[in-house]
Amino acid sequence: MLNARAAVVLDAGADPRLTDVQLREPIGDEVLVRIDAVGICHTDVSVAARFRKLPMVFGHEGAGTVTQTGPDATHRVGDQVVLTFASCGSCPHCLADAPAYCAHSTDLNMRGSRRDETSVLHLDGAPIGGGFFGQSSFCTYAIAGSRNAVTLPEPIDPALAAPLGCSVQTGVGAVLNVLAPQPDDALVVFGAGAVGLSAVMGARISGCDTIIAVDPIAQRRALASELGATVAIDPTAVDAAATVLELTGGVAAVLDTTARPDVLAAAIGVLRPRGTLALVGLGALTAELPVAAIMGKGLTVRGVVEGDSEPQTFIPRLVDLHRRGELPLDKLVSRYPFDEFDRAWTAAKSADVVKPVLITGAVGS
């Protein structure tokens, strides 16, 4: 067993607490990764708040260095990797290069591992839950599978690499892989958090002429403008939908990160005929949609998971975009030492920063 430090949710509804844990060795195609940096995502916060199979370690935006491999692993010791969502590799969706829609995605990513002799993580000698998104990277070490550990061709700052595994991949991918706006199209992003701001960057990369960001937080609107938004709207000051329609007459594409029913209704309302609404948020699990408007205008409402990406190819593409200056990841990231996990978690819950990233002692703080 390897000793490590992890943020563990011990009690229902409680925040994670740093404590000592132990990890077993990697088996099969698994790799043991020293976590050099890990982002905190809204999904971590929301799932941790309602998870009941405890104790449990969350975290799904890990970046680090492979230190040990299982006998069937395709990675090598010393590889720098970004950890991302898990997929089975053998279902029809995985075989069609759509692993985000893996038939076993819920079991592999959201339920947590069994608490038995197969458990990766142990606390005081007893097995605890892990395997969140196939990694549970709120820990100084994590075990992942070969499919959800993406080797990077060249070194990159781990703090900037970490959000590529989920937030950045989701936002940029939803634009480039799904909405695919043309230069003369207008695109609206509702919610300028890490995913929404990544979508803004994706729209700029795509060459989209009109990029509108809608968010009530002034700092995020300012950052959206810095990252490529041509218009930033405060929905608490004006009617966002009316403003968008006044500016554009109707847009080709909308990306919603909020999943709020009122925002979804506004998103439908600003689309031009045959436009597309991409849903990437899980703020509300259900919402009414204006069916008559969707049918009458021939709209497409499209759920998007992890940017519709195949991470083994898309994450290296994102790294290349960053190297070329087209994806300024440093604008999103606020760094925290791993031993200040509580402070970073509070910042994530309160939306004080866009993307809190924890840095372990391996690469300094």
Q: What is the pLDDT of residues 38-52, one digit of tens each?
A: 999 999 999 999 999
Range of the domain at 193: 168-306
Residue 365's pLDDT is 33
Amino acid identity of residue 188, one-letter, is V
**Is 157 contained in some domain?**
no
CATH number (domain holding residue 172):
3.40.50.720
**Sign of the dihedral through C-alpha 229, 348, 166, 5:** positive
Mean pLDDT, rounded, for 193-219: 97
How buried is 301 (Cβ within 10 angstroms: 0-12 exposed, 13-18 middle, 19+ buried)?
A: middle
251 and 177 in one domain?
yes
Token duo for residue 136: 């549970």
Q: Are 124 and 118 in contact (CB under 8 A)?
A: no
Residue 364 pLDDT: 39
224, amino acid identity: A
Amino acid letter at 275? G
Residues 129 and 220 both lie in one domain? no
Within a domain: residue 159? no
Residues 85 and 203 in one domain: no
Q: What is the mean pLDDT of the segment spanning 43-70?
A: 96
Two structure tokens written together for 162: 């970490």
* One domain, residues 200 and 116: no
Q: Structurally, how many domains does the chain consist of? A: 2
Distance CA 112, CA 126 (A): 15
Co-location of 16 and 146 in the same domain: yes
> Predicted confidence band at 192 (pLDDT cuts at 50, 70, 90)?
very high
What percentage of the chain reaches a pLDDT higher than 70?
98
Neighbours of 12 (CB within 10 A): 11
* Cα dihedral: 133, 135, 138, 139 (round 10): 170
Say if residue 298 is in the same domain as residue 227. yes
**Is 210 among the domain residues?**
yes
**pLDDT for 279-306, tens place per residue?**
998 776 778 888 999 999 999 999 999 9
Q: Are residues 241 and 344 in the same domain?
A: no
Assigned domain for 311 exists? no
CA distances (Å), origin 200, targets 56, 168, 229: 34, 10, 6
Say yes or no: 18 and 126 in one domain.
Answer: yes
